[in-house]
Structure 1
Amino acid sequence: MSGEDGLVLGIDVGTSGARAVAMDSAGDIVATGAAKLAVFSGDHRDPLGWWKALQAALLETLATIAPARVRAISIDGTSGTMLPVAADGAPLATPLMYNDPVADPAILDSIAAHAPKESAAHGATSGVAKLLAFQSLPGVFRVIHQADWLAGHFTGLYDVSDENNALKTGYDPASRCWPDWLARTGARTGLLPDVLPAGAPVATLSPAAADAFGLPGDVVVVAGTTDGCASFLATSADRPGDGVSALGTTLTVKMLSDRPLFAPEYGLYSHRIGDMWLAGGASNTGGAVLAAHFSAERIAELSKTIDPATETGFDFYPLTKPGERFPIADPQLMPRMTPRPAEDGDFLKAIFEGIAGVEALAYERLVSLGSPRLCSVRTVGGGARNPAWAAIRERKLGVPFLPAKSEEAAAGTARLALSGARKAGVL
């Protein structure tokens, strides 16, 4: 069978469910599947629920393609979600999700004392904190990430991770190793998984997994990533200077860089993606500000009256309450949204301009910290569908706005599977 006939599978597992896509060698999605976690479990921390949702999404995808065409598979999970397992992968405790804090002050003090300031492992929700919380359980073989555990169901290996999931657990992506300081926190570093680059081939399917899904036994399982990195990769941004703005409840900007960026004062760190680095930050501005003043219907109505080529003359920094993370690190920063224009259309336009100004400042901040200059922007999230806002943003950022290939995180993970399949010589 020729390489053009081959397909790869990407799977995204989040807090609400699982999605799967089949992708051809040209990067086009040819089949999809989805399943809600709530159908299988009432608890988003239930690993069996994760696995059942994944199975359902994958089987739905496989039902519309020839499984014999599949060459590789890769999985992403929520960043920072961890669980302790026995050697056969059996969970030994309820997982701690990405936003579950570890409350033991001794653990947090030890991390603060030994972790370098630029490490992503600081804080009560870090992977290191979860390792320290789990490591004394009887029979623990490894403490691994959600994506590691799910991938283990396909390989039988529960001691392998990827560089992106490992970042918040203290992994050093620059030297590509678990650093010495981890042991000084009291962590049992022998419980940490081996780490491979995202997109690296791990192993072929176990016989049990091949039988369960009707897949060829030589399908390659590829090291995955986090859900956030997968969402970036899904857009097809792939060159230094390519930016992706997520316009949801908040504004998140990410850019590919030829060098790593670390700025803990902004909560900024870098994921290693191939030979490049993915850096980004999250602002408190975004769709939540719009929703605080207008309904979605009113925004759509008023947007039709906006001329995006002109300026209102207002200088807003739109926030719903005091405090900003990025591109200004100031927990006391006050919203700037006065004086309010008399007309609702002008007020909405001024908010659009203000958020676009924060977005432009965010990319400027990345450049000031060492990233390449911004070359292009792709947009995802609800705000991407407003033409007036898009035109205002394009004017303020001054770079081409390119279409996102996909907004599906599973598509980004499938791109990693494509990379791994090519490295393994199976596509």
Structure 2
Amino acid sequence: MDEVPDAGRLVVGVDLGTSGVRAIAIDDSGTIVAEGRAAISATRRRDPASIWSAVTSALDMLCAALDPRRIAAIAVDGTSGTIIPTDMSGAPIGLATLYNDKAEAASVARVSAAAPEDSPARGQSSPLARMLDRASLPGLAGFLHEADWIAHRLGAPHGVSDANNALKSGYDPRAGRWPGWIAATGLDLALLPSVVEPGTPVGHVGADIATRFGFSPEARLVAGTTDGCASFLATGADTAGDGVSALGSTLTVKLLSERPVSAPAFGVYSHRLLGCFLPGGASNAGAAVLARFFTPDQLAALSTRIDPARDSGLDYYPLPSPGERFPVSDPALPPRLEPRPDDDARFLHGLLEGLARIEAEAYRRLAELGAPPVRRIFSVGGGAANPVWTALRARIIGVEVTAATHTEAAYGAARLARHGVAT
């Protein structure tokens, strides 16, 4: 058999996004060597055949730009909670249900009655509840998450998942097993996949896949993750105390921790990742408030008039509307945007400070719940490009804050593939 060359080996991450597939190959230094993309129309996103077709197109594009024999490992990430029913051979027996599809009310109620209060399997879009909806499909042998199924198509054993994709389906990452309460919902536990840690080698590419793309038959398949966890890994965060702040329309923080953190009142739960746990939370505050008052050009111009080393003297809590979920849980918390000074630059200064204080409190809240103190922060999202906001956040939070070089989920999946061949 042709072996993967030791020199110049590459690893590949495949991201199953909401509107398409992206594949990225990186070398041992983390440099992107090649990429491939393929779109999936919204009307075809539930069709497993269309997902697989997009994967093959993305890999064809990637392999055309490199020697595919150099690829040592592949990992796949997918949208958390997208489920595919399969038969005994792993072939789909129906369309996928997407991460944001609503389950039938009766199934949601059965999960709510059985699941612990802190279980991520609860809710209207529960993957577990959607499995209950389809548990009587003729020929059903099991359910796979979409990343599991694509990995199987590439050659991984049938019926294997990872702890991140399995979390919202009810998997307990602390105990490392499917919990017994799932049986109380009426679902046969035999329909659930076996679960391994993300980054675990699970097999090699299939002989047909090696021939199809020109891979070495020794190329490994590595257990993947969700798109959200893959995006976290893409930043370079890899040590307990590393945080990632997403500065989008809302503010989301994630923090790598040695211990699991769960706080349903704040919407906080933990993924298992790289031998650690990944708790996080999302505030209702964020850049959407800035966009209400300023255009992008105005934000850029006004930011140049702000000294991030000085305090504005304003005390804002910039919510878009009443209600906050994290770092405080108060559905009636009012926005605090007064007084508004005549100087727009000072007003923006106060808004940015308010958001930075919320971010600081978010990391403190995670630490209070059992995570380590944040030691450095990687920034992603549109706000990461504002150097004044970055400097201001570093002053208020008191740690190093840098914009992440890479944010693509496919890049994070490639890092996970590299972890699999390094262990």
Q: CA RMSD in A?
A: 1.5
Distance in 1, matches of 2:24 and 2:14, equals 7
1:185 corresponds to: 185
CA separation in 1, counterparts of 2:43 and 2:182?
Answer: 35
Contact 2:104 2:133 in 1 (8 A): no
Q: CA 1:25–1:4 in structure 2 vs 1: closer, same or farther (change >3 Å)?
A: farther
- 8 Å CA contact 1:244–1:253 kept in 2: the answer is yes
Which ranges of structure 2 fall in alignment gaps of 5 or more residues?
none
Partner Cα separation in structure 2 for residue 170 and residue 85 of structure 1: 19
The farther-off stretch of 72-81 and 212-221 is 212-221
Deviation at 1:414, TM superposition (A): 0.7
Equivalent position of 1:7 in the other structure:
10
Query: Alpha-carbon deviation of 1:167?
Result: 0.5
Deviation readout 1:11-63 (Å, 9 max, x if unpaired): 1111011111111123322222222223xx63332322222222222222111
Answer with 350-359 or 402-411: which moved more: 402-411
Give me the identity figure in percent. Answer: 49
- Kindly indicate whether the alpha-carbon contact (under 8 Å) linking 2:108 and 2:126 is maintained by their aligned counterparts in 1: no
CA apart distance, 1:339: 1.4
User: Does 1:172 pair with 2:169?
Assistant: no
Structure 1 equivalent of residue 57 of structure 2: 56
SS of the residue 1:42 aligns to:
helix
Distance 1:325 1:97 in 2: 25
- Does the aligned pair in 2 maintain the 1:4–1:24 contact within 8 Å? no
> Secondary structure at the residue paired with 1:310?
coil
Deviations 1:146-179 (CA, angstroms, capped at 9, x unpaired): 1111111101633110000000011010111111
Contact 2:72 2:421 in 1 (8 A): yes
Aligned to 1:200: 200
1:33 aligns with 2:31: no
Tell me the residue number matched to 1:391.
Answer: 391
Residues 319-358 of structure 1 aligned to structure 2 (within 5 Å):
319-358=319-358
Q: What is the CA-CA distance between 1:403 and the residue it aligns to?
A: 4.6
Q: Number of matched residues?
A: 420
CA-CA distance at 1:369 after TM superposition: 0.3
Aligned match of 1:72: 73
Q: Report the equivalent of 1:44.
A: 45
Quote the Cα distance in structure 2 between the aligned partners of 1:401 and 1:335. 26
Equivalent residue letter for 1:86: D
SS at match of 1:20: strand
What SS class does the counterpart of residue 257 from structure 1 fall into? coil
**Alignment partner of 1:34: what SS?**
strand
In the aligned structure 1, how far is the partner of 2:179 from the partner of 2:409? Answer: 30
Structure-1 separation of matches of 2:220 and 2:46: 28
Distance across 2 between alignment mates of 1:352 and 1:154 = 46
Q: Structure 2: how far apart are the matches of 1:247 and 1:173?
A: 28
Match in the other structure for 1:404: 404
Q: 2-side partners of 1:248 and 1:55: how far apart?
A: 32
Distance in 2 (CA, whole Å) between partners of 1:396 and 1:35 is 42
CA deviation string 1:122-157 (max 9, x = no partner) = 112122111111111111121111111111110163
| Greater alpha carbon shift after TM alignment, 376-385 vs 201-210 | 201-210
In the TM superposition, 1:363-374 aligns within 5 A as 363-374=363-374
Q: Which residue of 1 is the match for residue 26 of structure 2?
A: 23
Q: State the one-letter code of the partner of 1:11.
A: V
Give the distance between the partners of 1:91 and 1:337, measured in 2 at CA: 52
**CA–CA distance in 1 between the matches of 2:318 and 2:246?**
16
Counterpart amino acid of residue 20 in structure 1: A
Deviation digits for residues 355-379 of structure 1, max 9, x if unmatched?
1111001001001001111111110
Give the equivalent residue in structure 2 for 1:93: 94
Q: TM-score, normalised by structure 2?
A: 0.96
Question: Could you say what secondary structure the match of 2:325 adopts?
Answer: coil
Spell out, residue by residue over 1:284-338, the C-alpha distance to the aligned partner (whole angstroms, 9 max, x if none). 1111111111111211121122111111111111111112111111222211111
Alignment match, 1:234:
234
Q: Which amino acid aligns with 1:182?
A: I
Inter-partner Cα distance in structure 2 for 1:341 and 1:57: 52
Q: In structure 2, the residue corresponding to 1:401 is in which secondary structure?
A: strand
Alpha carbons of structure 1 residues 43 and 297: separation in structure 2 relative to 1, 3 Å = farther
Equivalent residue number for residue 222 of structure 1:
222
> CA offset at residue 90 of structure 1?
3.0
Larger mean CA deviation between 42-51 and 265-274 belongs to: 42-51
Contact 1:352 1:389 in 2 (8 A): yes
Instruction: Determine the structure 2 residue equivalent to 1:135.
Output: 135
d(CA) in 1 for partners of 2:269 and 2:56? 33
Q: Which moved more, 1:188-197 or 1:155-164?
A: 155-164
Structure-1 separation of matches of 2:333 and 2:59: 46
CA contact 1:75–1:223 (8 Å) conserved in 2 = yes
Task: Report the equivalent of 1:380.
Answer: 380
Contact 1:3 1:25 in 2 (8 A): no
Distance 1:331 1:47 in 2: 39
> Matched residues in 2 for 1:29 and 1:411: separation?
8
Q: Give the stretch that moved more between structures: 74-83 or 107-116.
A: 107-116
Matches within 5 A, 1:302-317: 302-317=302-317
Q: Which residue of 2 aligns with 1:253?
A: 253
Is the contact between residue 326 and residue 362 of structure 2 (CA under 8 Å) also seen in structure 1? yes
Identify if the C-alpha distance between structure 1 residues 86 and 363 changes in structure 2 by more than 3 Å, giving closer, same or farther: same
Amino acid at match of 1:100: D
Superposition pairs of residues 275-314 of structure 1, within 5 angstroms? 275-314=275-314
CA distance in 2, matches of 1:210, 1:87: 24
User: 2: CA distance between counterparts of 1:43 and 1:299?
Assistant: 39
Asked whether the equivalents of residues 4 and 25 of structure 1 are also in contact (C-alpha less than 8 Å), the reply is no
In structure 2, distance between residues paired with 1:262 and 1:109: 22
Q: CA deviation at 1:4?
A: 4.0
Q: What is the distance in 1 between the residues matched to 2:288 and 2:111? A: 34
Task: Give the aligned residue type for 1:27.
Answer: G
The AA in structure 1 aligned to 2:340 is: R
The answer as to whether partners of 1:241 and 1:256 remain within 8 angstroms in 2 is yes
Q: 1:112 matched to which residue of 2?
A: 112
